[in-house]
Structure 1
Amino acid sequence: MTNQDFRSAVNAAIDAPAANPALAQALLSGASTRPCFVVGRNEQAFDLIGRVRLDGVLDDFAEPGSTWHDLATVSTAQLPADAIVINCSTSISPVAVEQRLQAAGIASIVSIHDLIRAAEGAIDQPGFVQDQRQDWEKFEAEWADIFASLEDEASRRTLLDLVRYRLTANVQFMRDYAVRVKDQYFEPFLDLRAEVFVDAGGFDGDTTEEFCRRCPDYRKVHLFEPSQHNMRAAKARLAAYRDIVFHTEGLSDQVGSVTFDAEAGSASSVTSGAGEEVQMTTLDLAVTEPVSLIKMDLEGWELTALAGCERRIREDRPKLAIAVYHRASDFRTVWRYARSIHPDYKVYLRHYTQGWSETVMFFV
């Protein structure tokens, strides 16, 4: 596929028709009298309240009798045989949600993409779609440059599918993907051996534990995690492993302090709202020995942290595994920054869910 073919395929996706337009229109117009439920507790589902008649929220893990925004929660087993289900899952497993519903005998499934297409502007696009459309409109040519730079066909196909999904929330573009987050930083092309590993955004030590298990000949790990709570969990989890240096700091482009929301689990991040004050440093200051592998998933802080790694990247030429999914612009800015230091980096792209989250760009 040429650059122009890539651009044409992406632009064609924006106008792709809905899979179930008649049912979507019946829901929007109020013509349907069948019981209707929504799956997904997110902004897309919330936006439908008052716009579509909803009888409840489908959630197999909810406490019996619980509600969400005054909508009763029900399990799949409780769905009426003639139920319509609106699939608002977009982040992790929209394909699996659809498949589970079909396996349970639910034939009438409407995606959020179907409803948005049928609503003709009356329902807002999800935030990730709005973000992607704005970025694509301004930087389409640079996206094509990224496509051309990718090292293998799997990377090129991944970029094509992801951009089309992120522009539309159309689940048809994600049908070939699986949720495989444990594989996230361990692709064969990395050829991991005797690494000095930097885990930036170490959370509770889950990635470092997987790294130590998969790469037992590692030389050292530097784990950075600014939250005291998360760091205590990481130290307990990794107590049996050797040669791990725990840095209770976040990585940034300068030394200082920021407010950090540590209550969001693996999505803990720098915030402008309430949170704990944490210390930040740069990798160039914190680690003076050569490093060979840097992983980052910092909830949108990656480019700032990379700026504080410039010397280590320039001198050591480590392999990089950088999350790029938090904003559409992350794909471009991370790609541009890494290649500005080492233009000969080989670039790979892999995706680890069926939704918009968990995309990693590798530089080898």
Structure 2
Amino acid sequence: MSKHPQFASPAAAADAFLAPGQAVGRYLLGRNEHAAALLDIPAIAALVDGIIDDRATEPAWRGKPVLRGEQVAAPALAVNCSMSISPVSAARRLAALGFAPLHYADLLEARPDLVPAPPFVAEMRADLAAHANEWAALAERLADDASRAVLRDLVAYRGSAHPRHMAGYTVRFDEQYFEPFMPLHGETFVDAGGFDGDTTEQFCRRDPAYRGVILFEPSGANIARARERLAGRPNIRFEEMGVSDAPGTLSFDPHAGSASAVSSSGTVSIAVTTIDEAVSEPVSFIKMDLEGWEMRALAGAARHIRADHPKLAIAVYHSAADFRHIPAYILGLRDDYAVYLRHYSEGWSETVMFFVPRTRRDTLQDQ
């Protein structure tokens, strides 16, 4: 039997969480921007008794005590505020602890006048409303039913933040950028946004006969880790630079790990180049995950895309508009690509769009 109160529906749990005077503890799962958004609302902050975080070492966060799930005294309600990577696993964790199903999305649905839509939700809703025809055309352009299912699920999740739409997904970072429909045979690989070499390491394992790798990463600390990780791998060129649509310098935030990005509030200046200028040899596979800078970097790789017809694996999850803009740009350079979509987390992040070169024979067979 659950030690925490159960409700007829998530809506009833949300109403109970938001109602003052209830004889129940109230907790938020996760120390992130979504929990912070709730605590920024005085009426909600006054109700919240603490934060659940099984990995935390600090005793408090934003004025609230931080506890492991097992430390929460019954009766209590807990709101799942995980949305980026593991919201489904977070929901399972709360269920295992006996909590009623309750997500940020349920609070948003119950009180949209009080609870702010997460930025990725507000952005998705606005983009879909303004460009419905382009989203429909994108679904038609995708190469397989699996891609269309991914798009359908992501539109539903990014428009609501409810993890029920992501129940069939898992976190599988090791598979990101590599799929059976895009076999590797002696590639020349450009890793744009190489971080600490993790993707290049996976590439080398999957294509041991590769011709060469050019890894671009503007963080010196990350480049050092990449060199260490890839020591002994031949034919890898490390470029301590970012990639963009023109050479120059840009502001950069180097302190966000794999999410480090070009930013107007960045604390350091980095050198940037273009793939077209920095890479003279033909390339056969370009991967990009640049925290929202992909469109600018693609413009700087236009010559290689036109001339070499490389395989492309491009992150599209940083904004809703990227789902539309990135394929429109690439297919405007060359329309002889099959387009696939795959997703590698339980939340809104880590979506990759693949562009697989089509031969003239493929095109004729489709006609």
TM (norm. structure 2) is 0.92
Cα distance between partner residues in 1 of 2:71 and 2:99: 15
- 1:117 is matched with 109
Query: Within the alignment, does 1:324 sit opposite 2:316 as a pair?
Result: yes
> Which of residues 8, 12, 32 in structure 2 aligns to 1:22?
12
Query: Within the alignment, does 1:74 sit opposite 2:70 as a pair?
Result: no
> Which aligned pairs between 1:272-351 and structure 2 lie closer than 5 A?
272-351=264-343
Q: Name the amino acid aligned to 2:26.
A: C
Q: Name the amino acid aligned to 1:54.
A: V
> Which of residues 20, 44, 54 in structure 2 aligns to 1:60?
54
> Which of residues 172, 177, 188 in structure 2 aligns to 1:185?
177
Shift of 1:193: 1.2
Shift of 1:29: 2.1
- Contact 1:83-1:108 at 8 Å conserved across structures: no
- 1:15 is matched with none
Bigger drift between 169-178 and 271-280 goes to 271-280
Cα distance between partner residues in 1 of 2:295 and 2:281: 22
- Contact 1:34-1:84 at 8 Å conserved across structures: yes
- Contact 1:19-1:114 at 8 Å conserved across structures: no
- 1:145 is matched with 137
Shift of 1:259: 1.1
Q: Name the amino acid aligned to 1:40.
A: G
Shift of 1:31: 4.3
> Which aligned pairs between 1:1-364 and structure 2 lie closer than 5 A?
20-49=10-39, 50-52=42-44, 53-63=47-57, 66-104=59-97, 106-364=98-356
Cα distance between partner residues in 1 of 2:235 and 2:297: 23
| Partner secondary structure for residue 324 of structure 2 | helix
Shift of 1:248: 1.1
Cα distance between partner residues in 2 of 1:274 and 1:323: 21
Q: Name the amino acid aligned to 2:214.
A: H
Cα distance between partner residues in 1 of 2:148 and 2:140: 8
Shift of 1:19: 5.2
Q: Name the amino acid aligned to 1:279.
A: A
Q: Name the amino acid aligned to 2:62.
A: H
CA RMSD, 1 decimal: 1.3
| Partner secondary structure for residue 102 of structure 2 | strand
| Partner secondary structure for residue 346 of structure 1 | strand
* Structure 1: gaps (5+ residues): 1-17
Q: Give deviations 1:3-51, integer Å, cap 9, x for gaps.
A: xxxxxxxxxxxxxxx9511111122122422111101222221122233
Runs of 4+ in 1 over 4 A off after TM superposition: none
Q: Name the amino acid aligned to 2:64.
A: L
| Partner secondary structure for residue 101 of structure 2 | strand
- Contact 2:17-2:77 at 8 Å conserved across structures: no
- 1:14 is matched with none
Cα distance between partner residues in 1 of 2:266 and 2:291: 16
* Structure 2: gaps (5+ residues): 1-7, 357-367
Cα distance between partner residues in 1 of 2:211 and 2:282: 11
Cα distance between partner residues in 2 of 1:29 and 1:38: 15
Q: Give deviations 1:196-235, integer Å, cap 9, x for gaps.
A: 0000000111111111122211110000011112111111
